[in-house]
Every structure is written in structure tokens, then in C-alpha cells.
């Protein structure tokens, strides 16, 4: 059982973080991000060509994290690989000591820096979860037996609490659970009332939910998310104080606003997933303000 699975099974309020691998092989900045959060989170997500931008492989960074004594969550997107490669990557990750895997369908390649690359999408997040469940049961998707069974993979998925209508997300959530999802990390959410409404409905599934928080750095970032990130709404009550704050005071104001939101939603869920987006140095301060 991974540390993440154990923490959630024991009912502890569990915090995960996230880093983005570099576009190249200089890992100094990557390890700097890890150093800021490693003592405050149970596990660290490593993104997989996030936003369809080519970067060093998530699996390689996860393997190095294991070697350094940290617990990773390997993100696997279905955009870039067919079912042969994905199953091989799951088994390869397991052999490297990686136990937590987050299943993602992935953004289309036209959204990234290689728009001419061919999208695969042989599987989607639900069928990827089914594939991992099959591997955990000792067989691949072709029904062939495995030599050694990765039975303790801890399978995760995402859900968007702010989607409208939210009922479609709940249907997808139920399908993912049936396919093998054992925990959820949510897309960013900033309205406690919206999150509470979602959790009142999602709690019936009895699967741990970690509330996703992207640290908002500026009013411009908030407006971009409102305009271009489906299912994410940053309220004016956050945007206006950031717009009025000076550049020097903006990090302090941002941390205060994020802390206020986190304190409001902490009783509603099983944990947090913090996406600092380059502001990892503020994560310890943020969690201290929340008493976490």
C-alpha cells in the first residue's frame, strides 16, 4: 500500500502537491520545486506533457523521486500513446517502485507546442482505469496472463466540481469508480458553496476526494482561467483584491485569499491537491495559515 493510499484509508486529511517536468534535462529547478513542498505533502504529482507541451517524461521524474525517497503520483495521458505503450508504461512504472497513477484523457495536441503531432486517444481516462484494473487482476487488455501482478497500484482520476451542469461530472465520476478509480483529485475550484454542493452529491460514492487548488498569482491569471479553462470560475471577490494589490504585495494577498478558501472547504473533503504553478515557495506558508 502506498503512503497516499494508507493516509486516505486511515481517514487522515491528506495533501498532495504537483510539479511540472522541465523542457530539457536540467532538473535543478524541478528539484527546487520538490524541496519546497516535500515535507508538507504525502505525494507529488508529476504532470505528463501538460497542456500538450513536450517535456521530459513524467515516468522518468517519478522514478527519480522514488530514488530520492519521495512518493510520486504518475500522471498518464491517453493522448500520446496507444494501449500497448500505456500498459507497458504502467508495468514499467510499477517495476520502478511507482504505485500511484492518475488517469487522464489529455488535452488535444493542437493546444500545445507541437500542433502538427498526431493525437492517439486509443484509450480515454475511463478505459485507462479499466486497463489498470485488468493489470491489477493479472491480465492485459488482450486477456493474456502477466508474469507477476501489480496488484497494489493505487488508481486515481480527476473530476471538475465547477462544471455546469455538474450532473454530467457525477455520471463520469461514477463510471470512473466502476472502472477502478480509488481516489479523485479535482480541477481547480474557488467557490466554497459550489464545492459544498458538489460534495453533497459526490459523497455518496464514498471515494476520497482531494480538492484541487491552483494558486492564483494575479488578476490576469484569474481572468485567463475564467475565459479559457472549462469548469473553472475565479470569483470577483478574489480577482479584485489581486488587481488592487501592488506587485510586491501580490504574493501575500494571493496566499491570504487561497488560505481563506482552503479553511472554508477543509471540512468538506478528504484532502487538498495544491498546484502552485511555480509558486512552490509559498506552499509551506499557505498551509501554516490553514493550520495544516
Q: For each of the chain's 292 residues, which pLDDT tens digit applies?
A: 999 999 999 999 999 999 999 999 999 999 999 999 999 999 999 999 999 999 999 999 999 999 999 999 999 999 999 999 999 999 999 999 999 999 999 999 999 999 999 999 999 999 999 999 999 999 999 999 999 999 999 999 999 999 989 999 999 999 999 999 999 999 999 999 999 999 999 999 999 999 999 999 999 999 999 999 989 999 999 999 999 999 999 999 999 999 999 999 999 999 999 999 999 999 999 999 999 9
* Cα separation, 106 vs 257, whole angstroms: 29
Residue from 48, 40, 39 nearest 20 by CA: 48
Boundaries of domain holding 15: 3-286
Taking a C-beta distance cutoff of 8 angstroms, is the pair 153, 125 a contact? no
- The whole-angstrom separation of Cα 76 and Cα 90 is 9
Taking the C-alpha atoms of residue 141 and residue 87, their distance in angstroms, rounded to an integer, is: 8
292 lies in some domain: no
Residue 222 within a domain: yes
Contacts of 29 (CB under 8 A, 6+ apart): 22
Cβ–Cβ < 8 Å for 104, 156 = no
Element (H, E) at 18: strand 14-19
pTM: 0.96
Closest CA to 146 of 94, 104, 81: 94
With cell 504574493, the residue in question is 251
Number of domains in the chain: 1
CATH label of the domain that carries residue 183:
3.20.20.220
Coil, helix or strand for 273? strand
Q: Examine residue 291 and state whether it is found in any structural domain, yes or no.
A: no
Cα angle at 185 between 83 and 48, to 5 degrees?
Answer: 45
d(CA 219, CA 242): 6
Placement of cell 475511463 in the chain: 126
Structure confidence at residue 261 (pLDDT):
97
Q: For residue 182, what pLDDT is reported?
A: 98
For the record, the C-alpha cell of 62 comes out as 517519478
| 267: in domain | yes
Cβ–Cβ under 8 Å, residues 261 and 190: yes
Q: Residue 268 domain-assigned?
A: yes
Amino acid at each position: 500500500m502506498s503512503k497516499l493510499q494508507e493516509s486516505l484509508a486511515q481517514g487522515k486529511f491528506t495533501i498532495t502537491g504537483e510539479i511540472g517536468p522541465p523542457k530539457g534535462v536540467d532538473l535543478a529547478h524541478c528539484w527546487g520545486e520538490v524541496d519546497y513542498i516535500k515535507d508538507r505533502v504525502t505525494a507529488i504529482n508529476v504532470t505528463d506533457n501538460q497542456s500538450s507541451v513536450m517535456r521530459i517524461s513524467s515516468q522518468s521524474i517519478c522514478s527519480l523521486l522514488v530514488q530520492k525517497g519521495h512518493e510520486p503520483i504518475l500522471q498518464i495521458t491517453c493522448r500520446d500513446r496507444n494501449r500497448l505503450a500505456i500498459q507497458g508504461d504502467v508495468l514499467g512504472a510499477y517495476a520502478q517502485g511507482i504505485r500511484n497513477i492518475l488517469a487522464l484523457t489529455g488535452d488535444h495536441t493542437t493546444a500545445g507546442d507541437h500542433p502538427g503531432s498526431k493525437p492517439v486517444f486509443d484509450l480515454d481516462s475511463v478505459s485507462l482505469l479499466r486497463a489498470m484494473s485488468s493489470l491489477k487482476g493479472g491480465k492485459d487488455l488482450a486477456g493474456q496472463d502477466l508474469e507477476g501482478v501489480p496488484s497494489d497500484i493505487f488508481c486515481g482520476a480527476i473530476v471538475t466540481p465547477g462544471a455546469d451542469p455538474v450532473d454530467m461530472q457525477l455520471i463520469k465520476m461514477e463510471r470512473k469508480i466502476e472502472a477502478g478509480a480509488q481516489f479523485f483529485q479535482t480541477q481547480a475550484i474557488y467557490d466554497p458553496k459550489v464545492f459544498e454542493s458538489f460534495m453533497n452529491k459526490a459523497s455518496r460514492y464514498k471515494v476520497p476526494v482531494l480538492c484541487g487548488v491552483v494558486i492564483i498569482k494575479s488578476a490576469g491569471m484569474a481572468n485567463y482561467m475564467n475565459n479559457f479553462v472549462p469548469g473553472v470560475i475565479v470569483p470577483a471577490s478574489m480577482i479584485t483584491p489581486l488587481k488592487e494589490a501592488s506587485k510586491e504585495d501580490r504574493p501575500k494577498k494571493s496566499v491570504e485569499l487561497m488560505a481563506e478558501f482552503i479553511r472554508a472547504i477543509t471540512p468538506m473533503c478528504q484532502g487538498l491537491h495544491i498546484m502552485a504553478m511555480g509558486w512552490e515557495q509559498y506552499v509551506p506558508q499557505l498551509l501554516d495559515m490553514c493550520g495544516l
